[in-house]
Amino acid sequence: MGLVERDQKVIWHPYTQMKTALPPVPIVRGEGAYLFAEDGTKYIDAVSSWWTNIHGHAHPHIAQKVADQLKQLEHVIFAGFTHPTAIELAERLLAILPDNQQKVFYSDNGSTAVEVAIKMCLQYWHNRGLKKNKILAFNNAYHGDTFGAMAVSGRSAFTAAFDSLLFEVEFIDLPNESNISNLKSYISNLKSQLACFIFEPLVQGSAGMIMYEAKYLNELMLHCRQEGVLTIDDEVFTGFGRTGKPFACNHVDEKPDIMCFSKGLTGGTMALGVTTCTKQIFEAFLSDDKLKTLFHGHSFTANPIACSSALASMDIFLEEHTNASIKRISEQHAAFADKIRDNPKLKNVRQTGTILALEWHTGSNTSYFSSLRDVLYRYFLDAGIILRPLGNVVYILPPYCISNADLEYIYSKIEQALVEIGD
Ligand SMILES: *Cc1c(COP(=O)(O)O)cnc(C)c1O
């Protein structure tokens, strides 16, 4: 039996309608921006394996550091014990974050990093004896798939089966010139009940790479601070260079109270989540009263292997050539965006740093809409490129090591698709 047959006997894949999905592509090896299938087919990983991979696959430096760590210490309970890799990662991460971030709380993935952030905020007010338990979030937000993270995400097809069980959240539109003052009054009116405001900074990834301006985010963050509403900056997707700066919050002057990381944190090598917070938040949990403890932890909290891959990824992230690559990709994207911006088959072309999104016209009926997505997905796969459109939005989000030649090849295939697909 081949890998696909064996897979189909025993595996249930994520976000996959198992009845109608195409058979999965069996990948047996990765190198740099490429993935290699069982039959030898080479693919360019233009979506960084679900946005996680930033330095390329099977990176030798990360592999070496992980191998060294495996021989030293694979895991240890993190309550009552600590280890050098977790300490060093916390030190080095805090050193590159806004200087108000003072403490690191480890978990397993982006969703758990968000769960921890939400619990920190709600218990912050609870510990201070205030009844502020409402959360503010953006329409169409995506913060993960566990229940708390789902609750602060926009209500959608993803959440429909669970909507009645999700806690109530106040949703607002993305800010712009015309609604910003209304949004601010809305926040002022609710401030006595609002525990926190959670947001994806600058880019709403899952919603379809929807982008908004840093200056309005800055205004909202400032307003929240003035009104006593904590801010949670979910950098799970945007962290580690995606938006052209190390973190998306580096595009704004305001500093968030809490930040969440995962995806690029380990270079896409291991599952790891991090929630960081200010001294003020941390201190609200210090007490002789045990009930004020943050009662949260996972078996694999601060797993040394995951922490070592994050440290190795950080080494590469801080090298000058990585910064140069981020700049190079951003410039290539911008030039290509200009070239195709007026194509009549495209409704919108938008870019933030290394993220380029092309929104296709969908025609009038929605069945065409969904088939367009599948047609485009298949088209690029056949051309040896992994692009996974979000509905009618095709986006390119490559590992930073991608070559100019591979970027040009992807752009040329997109131009060809613009000629051959759709009406
Ligand atoms: C992917 C994502 C998450 C969830 O991360 P997982 O590791 O998939 O649980 C949370 N927030 C944002 C902004 C994301 O893009």
**Tens-place pLDDT, residues 306-355:** 999 999 999 999 999 999 999 999 999 999 999 999 999 999 999 999 99
43 catalytic? Reply is: no
Nearest to 260 by CA among 191, 196, 178, 175: 196
SS3 letters across 235-293: CCCCCCCCCCCCCHHHHCCCCCCEEEECHHHHCCCCCCEEEEEEHHHHHCCCCCCHHHC
Confidence of residue 27 (pLDDT cuts 50, 70, 90): very high
Q: How far apart are CA 350 and CA 205, in angstroms?
A: 12
Find the catalytic residue in 142, 212, 395, 411. 142
Say if residue 111 carries a ligand binding annotation: yes
Q: For residue 109, give the ligand 1 atom closest to its CA.
A: 7
Q: Render pLDDT for 106-130 as a digit per residue (tens, 0 to 9).
A: 999 999 999 999 999 999 999 999 9
pLDDT at position 336:
98
Distance 14 CA to ligand 1 centre (A): 14
Share of the chain above pLDDT 90, in %: 97
Asked whether residue 139 carries a pLDDT value surpassing 60, the answer given is yes
Say if residue 128 carries a ligand binding annotation: no
pLDDT at position 367:
53
Asked whether residue 225 carries a pLDDT value surpassing 60, the answer given is yes
Query: Is the C-beta atom of 142 inside 6 A of ligand 1?
Result: yes
Say if residue 297 carries a ligand binding annotation: yes
Closest Cα to atom 10, ligand 1: which residue? 143
Distance 405 CA to ligand 1 centre (A): 30
Query: Is the C-beta atom of 200 inside 6 A of ligand 1?
Result: yes
Rg of the Cα atoms in the chain? 22
Cβ neighbours of 316 (radius 10 Å): 18
Mean pLDDT of the chain: 97
234 catalytic? Reply is: yes
Strand partners, 287: none
263 catalytic? Reply is: yes
Return the residue matching tokens 């566990």.
Answer: 146
Q: Render pLDDT for 37-46 as a digit per residue (tens, 0 to 9).
A: 999 999 999 9
pLDDT at position 362:
83
Say if residue 267 carries a ligand binding annotation: no
Q: Render pLDDT for 261-311 as a digit per residue (tens, 0 to 9).
A: 999 999 999 999 999 999 999 999 999 999 999 999 999 999 999 999 999
Confidence of residue 370 (pLDDT cuts 50, 70, 90): low
pLDDT at position 422:
78
pLDDT at position 258:
99
Asked whether residue 8 carries a pLDDT value surpassing 80, the answer given is yes
**Listing from the earlier edge strand, what are the strands of the sheet with 134-138?**
101-107, 273-278, 258-261, 230-234, 194-199, 134-138, 170-172
pLDDT at position 189:
98
What number of helices (H) and strands (E) belong to the chain? 13, 16
42 catalytic? Reply is: no
Query: Is the C-beta atom of 109 inside 6 A of ligand 1?
Result: yes
Query: Is the C-beta atom of 272 inside 6 A of ligand 1?
Result: no
Q: How far apart are CA 57 and CA 197, in angstroms?
A: 35
Query: Is the C-beta atom of 111 inside 6 A of ligand 1?
Result: yes
